Amino acid sequence: MTAADDFRSAAHTAADLVADHLAELPARPVWQPMDDAARRTLLDAPLPAAGRPLAELLAAVGRDVLPYPMGNGHPRFFGWVNSAPAPAGVLATLAAAAMNPSSAGGDHADVHLERAVVRWIAELVGFPHPAGGGLLTSGTSMATIVCLAAARNRAARAAGWDVREDGLAGMPPLVGYVTGETHSCVRKAAELLGLGSRHLRTVATGPDGHLDLADLRAAIARDRAAGLLPFLVVASAGTVGTGAVDAFDPIADLCAEERLWLHVDGAYGAFGVLDPVIAHRYAGLGRADSLALDPHKWLGVPVDCGCALVRDTAELRATFSLVPSYLRDEAAGELGWFSEYGTEQTRPFRALKVWATIAHRGRDGLAADIARTTALARRLGELVTADPEFELLAEVQTSIVAFRLRPAGLTEGAVDALNRDLPAAVQRRGRAFLTGALLHGHEMLRACLLNPATTEADLALLLAEVKAAARETAGERPH
């Protein structure tokens, strides 16, 4: 058999393996702890001295890998913000790897396709898209670094500093504003960019989880009076805790007045704007200076795929562009290479899975999928509210339901302890998967709905599982 024949035959086997995996998944436990032997098989795998045929590797994947998923392909996975993979995206991954370009730049299909899908993403969420105004990244963590670096450099230049040349040392501190609900990736970016997490002010939020404008205004005034340089406000298009969407218009007004960069974290929630029922919450989103969002979340593009969108393309390029002689490219065109707009040099062909995912469902199909999940989330909110043993902790603004179990007669401390233990107990039972977090210092359960294959019956089952897990853990709990 030639190598090409061998590949073809293995590829057919691989297609069946993957199709079987996806087809069988809903009937399997959502997640199960790996048994020791299975875990050791992977952990202790010896470095192979001799190679093995493709067919044998596929058998090993089918036996040792595919049976132990994270759970996020399952209709009853409600944990964190991890979606089921879009089938079109799964297929695209194979073709993208077969081409294996570096999408740093140049005149090949992947580069042009990335320009197109970044424009599509901007169009889907209603963000302005000047040519070159964004790029795909590994996720929102990286997109945030990209956007905040541009914000930092613009602010420093306005203050007479060239950060690329001189660094930040000696400069008055640049100050950014976040809320208690802001994702940790913003702090990570601020630390990496030399801003110092101490210079991220935590602005108050209202009962709806929205950034409090009066508190923001006061904090900016205080910092200016102290000789610091306010430069950045981070707003959320869907917080990770409760899915709250900030009121962008008034924040954008204040940022314009104060000449601050408005960055919106839309990692989880930006695509919610596609649902006509909640689209009004996103008014003003397009006024931000930058938007980070994750096609690998609500759209179901297979991981990894984030996206950074910026209004000021020149600023982004001025922040990252370095073109040494060995990267000169006469065919690069006016926009240059993607590697001039971010941190990565060799870049994967992420665009094909984005193209496939969007092209397969179309804008309307994606909007219908997203609308279905927000409707399911509101329904879950109703089920929680109707059940006296549960308590809904936040209005369901997008597709995250923040709630807790509150059996009668428990002290506040006992309710916290119970809800702290519940996610792991639910997960271990294997019938549903949700995670927990702190909200205003109290333990909550959160269910994030991203999978249009989820049904109302699945929601009822989730709540029943929470109660069953509570009965199970009650036996183990000290009274």
Residue 211 binds ligand PLP (CB under 6 A): no
Nearer to ligand PLP, 241 or 423 (CB): 241
By CB neighbour count within 10 A (0-12 exposed, 13-18 middle, 19+ buried), where does 323 fall? Answer: middle
Nearer to ligand PLP, 103 or 399 (CB): 399
Determine the size of the site formed for ligand PLP (CB under 6 A): 12
Nearer to ligand PLP, 183 or 287 (CB): 183
**100 dihedral zone (left: phi>0; alpha: psi -120 to 50; beta):** left
Q: Which alpha helices (DSSP H) does 193-312 contain, by range?
A: 213-225, 248-258
Residue type, 333: G
Residue type, 261: W
Site for ligand PLP in 58-117 (CB under 6 A): 81
Minimum distance between the CB of residue 269 and ligand PLP, rounded to whole angstroms?
A: 7
Coil, strand or helix at 134 = strand
* Residue 230 main-chain phi, psi, to 5 deg: -60, 135
Nearer to ligand PLP, 73 or 105 (CB): 73
Residue 439 binds ligand PLP (CB under 6 A): no
Minimum distance between the CB of residue 82 and ligand PLP, rounded to whole angstroms?
A: 9
Report the alpha-carbon distance of residue 151 to residue 263 in Å, rounded.
9
Figure out which of the listed residues 90, 148, 240, 274 binds ligand PLP, where binding follows CB under 6 A.
Answer: 240
Minimum distance between the CB of residue 58 and ligand PLP, rounded to whole angstroms?
A: 30
Figure out which of the listed residues 30, 245, 267, 432 binds ligand PLP, where binding follows CB under 6 A.
Answer: 267
Residues 305 and 294 sit within 8 Å (Cβ to Cβ): yes
Nearer to ligand PLP, 305 or 405 (CB): 305
How does 282-297 read in b/e, with b if 16+ C-beta sit within 10 Å?
bebbbbbbbbbbbbbb
Figure out which of the listed residues 85, 139, 209, 452 binds ligand PLP, where binding follows CB under 6 A.
Answer: 139
Q: What token pair was written down for 105?
A: 């730049």
DSSP state of 203: E
Q: Which residues contact 138 (CB under 8 A, 6 or more apart)?
A: 304, 305, 306, 344
Report the alpha-carbon distance of residue 263 to residue 242 in Å, rounded.
19
Figure out which of the listed residues 90, 125, 156, 185 binds ligand PLP, where binding follows CB under 6 A.
Answer: 185
Residues 340 and 116 sit within 8 Å (Cβ to Cβ): no
Minimum distance between the CB of residue 300 and ligand PLP, rounded to whole angstroms?
A: 14
Site for ligand PLP in 286-305 (CB under 6 A): 294
Minimum distance between the CB of residue 445 and ligand PLP, rounded to whole angstroms?
A: 17
Q: Which stretch binds ligand PLP (CB under 6 A): 133-141, 159-167, 323-331, 439-447?
A: 133-141
List contacts with ligand PLP (CB under 6 A): 81, 139-141, 183, 185, 240, 265, 267-268, 294, 306
